[in-house]
Amino acid sequence: MTLYASETKVSAGASREEIERTLTRYGADQFLYGWEDAQAVVAFRMNGRQVRFVLPMPSREDERFTHHSRGRRSPEAAAKEWEQAVRQRWRALALVIKAKLEAVESGITEFENEFLANIVLPDGATAGAWMRPQIDEAYRAGTMPQLLPMLPAPRGSDR
């Protein structure tokens, strides 16, 4: 399988700047970017919603960077391979955000539908993180949760 932008020369910084410009062009009124070793975060506010993307970063110690078919790579070569993977991820995130915004702008979908998993809830969790366990449980049990779980199940119901 070929990764999108696997050979890109566009720096991670240029991709972040492109994401910010794209968000501004489509109407975001706030933008935030941050990082730590294992991940980067891009967040913005648009249509009255806060949205957050967490971009996992590859580990510098991953063997796909430190080794090749003939053995160990030099530290310089390993760093170069890792930097390429980081550039690829940033290009992919720029593509995803731009595609979602254009789909909304074109009337193909609605903002909440397109960004639902990444919308930040009042407690700081994303809707996707909040929903995943509930979806897993619904599939495991083969039933939907009650609409109002504090009420008893209706008579004759199998719930």
This prediction has a pTM of 0.87
Torsion, Cα of 112, 117, 118, 123 (10° steps): 100
Residue 26: phi and psi, rounded to 5, are -90, 0
pLDDT of the chain along its 159 residues, tens only? 789 999 999 999 999 999 999 999 999 999 999 999 899 999 999 999 999 999 999 999 999 999 999 999 999 999 999 999 999 999 999 999 999 999 999 999 999 999 999 999 999 999 999 999 988 988 999 987 766 666 666 666 555
Sketch the domain layout of the chain as residue ranges: 12-141
